[in-house]
Homo-oligomer: A and B are copies of this chain.
Amino acid sequence: MPRLLVIGTGLIGGSFALAMRRAGAFARIDGYDANASTAEQAAELGLIDRPVTDLPQAVAAADAVLIAVPTSAIADNVRRVAAAVVRPTTTVFDAGSVKGSVVANLRGRGGIPAWFVPSHPMAGSERRGPDAADTHLFRDRHVILTPQPETDTAATARVRGWWAAAGARVFETSAEIHDDMVALTSHLPHLIAYAYMGWVDAPHSGDPRAFAGPGLQDFTRIAASDAAMWRQILTDNRAAVLAQFDGWSATFARLGTLLREGRFDELERWLASARAARARLSDPPDA
């Protein structure tokens, strides 16, 4: 009778719990949240079977533990869990957006437990909390695992299986490549979208809202995300984000130069090439 414990019963933890319930992967799903009322709300919404307040006891009874908390709190939670793990097959994984800082933190203070599998679902929403949870949040999404040299391969295989049961496609890479690539595919786009909304909000000749269509709404949707969470992600992955920032800025400046200098044929070739890249974005990744 395998048991799942979800630490952090918000959007990600709650959605994973729902997906596991749908998949019938666990006989019981407990939920713990630093904010007890969040776990109670998750239980009322049917995301988890039971809100728990005694974390060590819940960990001792769990076969799987998902740590779905802000990136800055992941390492501390792994250490709290480590103090309570008593069964050899208990497997612990996270859902954090940044990997390098967590791995470095663990390696520097107590080591990386063999049963801990760093993982990151490329799914989310600008909404937060248990009432934003969605059974299908991970369906057809990608989940990146970054197992470390210390990580037990059997634990990695179990985590892979649970994410697959949630409907996701699972990939493995290093923490370094993960952080570099999510800076590209997620963190810098968020920074651009926030910056764009800041610019839209500056004084202009007219009211931008009269001129806003669905294109702008989609382009800036990720700027509706929680500011404190994104401050943390950008802070934790600063070096990789700044490297992407510089690379993208140079590319963007070149495109501006084509427009400024009236090199319209080159501009159109550039747009056509970017459009083709956009069309390939949904293709299956290289293995």
CA–CA, A256 and B248, complex, Å: 12
Bound form: Cα–Cα A215–B249 in Å: 20
A259-284 Cβ-contact flags toward B at 8 Å (1 or 0): 11010100110111111011111111
Interface size counted on chain A using CB atoms at 8 A = 94
Given A204-B181, A222-B215, A268-B231, residue A197 in contact with residue B277 (CB < 8 A): yes
A211 adjacent to B142 (CB under 8 Å): yes
**Contact in complex: B279, A224 (CB < 8 Å):** yes
Tell whether, in the assembled complex, residue A218 and residue B219 are in contact, meaning their CB atoms are under 8 Å apart. yes
Smallest beta-carbon distance A247→chain B, Å: 6
From B185, B271, B285, A216 is in contact (CB under 8 Å) with B185
Binds B, one of A27-35, A81-89, A103-111, A169-177: A169-177
Encode contact with B along A102-146: 1 for CB under 8 Å, 0 otherwise.
000000000000000000001110000000000000000110100
A23 within 8 A of B: no
Q: How far is the CA of A206 from the CA of B177 in the complex (A)?
A: 6
Q: Are the CB atoms of B212 and A284 closer together than 8 Å?
A: no
Residues B122 and A207 in contact, CB atoms below 8 Å apart: no
Q: Do B256 and A242 touch (CB < 8 A)?
A: yes
CA distance A285 to B217 in the complex (A): 15
A196 within 8 A of B: yes
A207 touching B252, Cβ below 8 Å: no
Question: Is A24 interfacial (CB 8 A cutoff)?
Answer: no
CB distance from A46 to the nearest CB of B (A): 24
Given A184-B204, A268-B227 in contact, is the A122-B212 Cβ separation under 8 Å? yes
Q: Which residues of B contact A216 (CB under 8 A)?
A: 185-186, 189, 281
Contacts of A185 in B (CB 8 A): 200, 208, 211-213, 216
* A280: min CB distance to chain B, Å: 7
* A213-B142 contact in complex given A185-B208, A200-B185, A218-B221, C-beta closer than 8 Å: yes
List residues of chain B with CB within 8 A of the CB of A186: 211, 213, 215-216
A55 within 8 A of partner (CB)? no
Find the residue from A199, A202, A221, A280 having the highest chain B CB count within 10 A. A199
Other contacts beyond A176-B205, A242-B259, A249-B256: 4, CB < 8 A: A122-B213, A191-B256, A217-B282, A219-B221
Q: List 13 A-B contacts (CB under 8 A).
A: A124-B213, A144-B211, A180-B204, A181-B204, A186-B216, A193-B219, A198-B270, A209-B281, A216-B281, A218-B221, A224-B278, A227-B272, A242-B260
